[in-house]
């Protein structure tokens, strides 16, 4: 039902009640004028008293309105504090994951280098041993003493060469490991410092935006209270002045109402823009953290490949290049999925904003068509509730976005760790074979 139909329905019900009461009075007044007069007079007074009570119940008192606004401000502040805490927790978890990945890669690099050096030295010694055994096999025609002397000399020279080669290889591998560990530690320290600076700037931005939003809401509440007082005063003045001045004052009231509606709409649009900016900042933070993790993992993979290229043939190089291409394809696909999810979430939030703005415009149209002193309080309460709903919806969307991004980052890290383990095991198998 439309609001006009609702009003007409209530008016019809009131008329029917009045007709029934009049019929009852006529039936009850059987002949006696005085009793009927007193009875009707008393009923009339009771009816007026009942009407006055009804009007008193319909009036919305300002303290309740103030309590609603204070409750809205408190909930808004607590919700923003919850957002800040959740985001800080997410960033700390990401930093811990980065540190764990770097420690694991350092350990893997050390193990791989040690295994490669041991395998390489074993291969050298086994080749030398095979050569020695081939040379030491006595021929059936030659005498034994000469062969034995020659073989002893060859054994001594080969052993000396092998020991020198082993010592130089181990020193070179230790130097390479130390240099790579120092590079990884420096890169991690730089990345952690950058992440800490980003966290500090983001928290400062969030705190400043919350303070701005709270100041805007307080100014809006003050403007609303002043405008309500002005409207009440204008209505009281219009009752006491002549009909011509009443017409002029009605025009002024309509202008003031239009100004009020424009001011409230501007305030709501500013709040919505600030919230959208905070959402975009939070999304950019999540995107930067994922990009930093991917860059760290690519650097670690490249360092492992540089270390292992010392003892690797062309076939293993081709295998490693294929595996790196697969890793890069997986990373690109995950980045595209993250971007698509973020675009979908932004579109959903924009649609929610548009629906809420349409709802506010409908409320404004209803309040302007049925304008009275008390509908303004209900109008402003409805605006405040709509703003709270907007804030709650946006907070839920931000929490969902952070959870999705964290899950995607964890999945990417697990996939890349599995691929690194496969690369290392394949390289060890190839070098040992």
pLDDT tens for each residue of 256-286: 777 777 777 777 777 777 767 766 776 676 6
Whether the model clears a pTM of 0.75, i.e. scores above it, the answer is no
Is pLDDT at 55 greater than 50 in this prediction? no
292 lies in some domain: yes
209 lies in some domain: yes
pLDDT in tens, 311-345: 555 565 666 666 667 667 766 776 677 677 667 76
42 lies in some domain: no
167 lies in some domain: yes
Is pLDDT at 57 greater than 50 in this prediction? no
Q: How many domains does the chain have?
A: 1
Q: Could you tell me the sign of the dihedral formed by the alpha carbons of 133, 135, 136, 137, in that order? A: positive
Q: What is the pLDDT of residue 142?
A: 47
- Give the distance from CA 211 to its chain's centroid: 20
User: CA-CA distance, 285 to 205, in Å (whole number)?
Assistant: 12
Q: Assign 388 a pLDDT band (cuts: 50, 70, 90).
A: low
Is pLDDT at 239 greater than 50 in this prediction? yes
Q: What is the pLDDT of residue 410?
A: 72
pLDDT in tens, 342-362: 677 667 666 766 666 666 666
43 lies in some domain: no
Structure tokens at 262: 């424009």
Is pLDDT at 17 greater than 70 in this prediction? yes
Q: Assign 430 a pLDDT band (cuts: 50, 70, 90).
A: low
- Structural domain boundaries enclosing 317: 59-432
User: CA-CA distance, 286 to 293, in Å (whole number)?
Assistant: 11
27 lies in some domain: no
198 lies in some domain: yes
**Range list of β-strands (E), 280-377:** none
CB distance 83 to 395 below 8 Å: yes
Average pLDDT over every residue of 399-425: 69
User: CA-CA distance, 300 to 310, in Å (whole number)?
Assistant: 17
The rounded percent of the chain whose pLDDT value lies above 70 is 28
Largest CA distance in the chain: 164
- Least-confidence region, from 21-25, 56-60, 210-214: 56-60
Structure tokens at 256: 């003031």
Determine which helix (DSSP H) or strand (DSSP E) holds 142, and give its type and residue range: none
CB distance 301 to 413 below 8 Å: no
Average pLDDT, whole number, for the chain?
Answer: 65
4 lies in some domain: no
Cβ count near 303 (within 10 Å): 20
Residue 33's contacts (CB-CB under 8 Å, 6 or more residues apart) are: none
Q: What is the pLDDT of residue 143?
A: 47
């Amino acid at each position: 039902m439309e609001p006009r139909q609702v009003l007409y329905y209530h008016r019809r019900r009131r008329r029917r009640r009045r007709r029934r009461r009049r019929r009852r009075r006529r039936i009850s007044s059987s002949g006696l004028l005085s009793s009927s007069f007193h009875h009707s007079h008393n009923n009339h007074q009771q009816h007026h008293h009942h009407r006055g009570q009804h009007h008193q119940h319909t009036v919305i008192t300002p303290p309740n309105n103030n309590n609603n606004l204070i409750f809205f401000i408190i909930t808004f502040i607590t919700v923003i504090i919850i957002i800040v805490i959740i985001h800080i927790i997410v960033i700390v978890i990401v930093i811990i994951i980065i540190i764990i990945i770097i420690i694991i890669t350092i350990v893997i690099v050390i193990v791989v280098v040690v295994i490669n050096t041991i395998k390489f030295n074993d291969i050298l010694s086994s080749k030398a041993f095979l050569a020695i055994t081939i040379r030491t096999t006595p021929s059936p025609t030659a005498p034994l003493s000469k062969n034995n002397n020659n073989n002893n000399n060859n054994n001594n020279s080969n052993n000396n060469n092998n020991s020198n080669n082993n010592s130089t290889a181990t020193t070179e591998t230790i130097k390479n490991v130390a240099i790579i560990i120092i590079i990884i530690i420096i890169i991690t320290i730089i990345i952690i410092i950058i992440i800490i600076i980003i966290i500090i700037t983001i928290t400062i931005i969030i705190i400043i935006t919350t303070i701005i939003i709270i100041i805007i809401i307080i100014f809006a509440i003050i403007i609303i209270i002043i405008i309500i007082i002005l409207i009440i005063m204008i209505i009281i003045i219009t009752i006491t002045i002549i009909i011509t001045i009443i017409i002029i004052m009605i025009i002024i009231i309509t202008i003031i109402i239009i100004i009020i509606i424009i001011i409230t709409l501007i305030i709501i649009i500013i709040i919505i823009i600030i919230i959208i900016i905070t959402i975009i900042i939070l999304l950019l933070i999540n995107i930067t953290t994922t990009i930093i993790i991917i860059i760290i993992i690519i650097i670690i993979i490249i360092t492992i490949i540089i270390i292992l290229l010392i003892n690797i043939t062309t076939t293993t190089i081709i295998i490693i290049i294929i595996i790196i291409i697969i890793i890069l394809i997986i990373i690109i696909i995950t980045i595209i999925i993250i971007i698509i999810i973020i675009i979908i979430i932004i579109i959903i939030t924009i649609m929610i904003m548009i629906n809420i703005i349409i709802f506010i415009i409908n409320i404004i149209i209803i309040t302007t068509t049925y304008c009275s002193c008390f509908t303004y309080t209900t109008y402003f309460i409805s605006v405040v509730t709509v703003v709270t709903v907007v804030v709650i919806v946006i907070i839920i969307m931000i929490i969902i976005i952070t959870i999705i991004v964290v899950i995607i980052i964890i999945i990417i890290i697990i996939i890349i760790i599995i691929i690194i383990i496969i690369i290392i095991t394949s390289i060890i198998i190839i070098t040992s074979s």
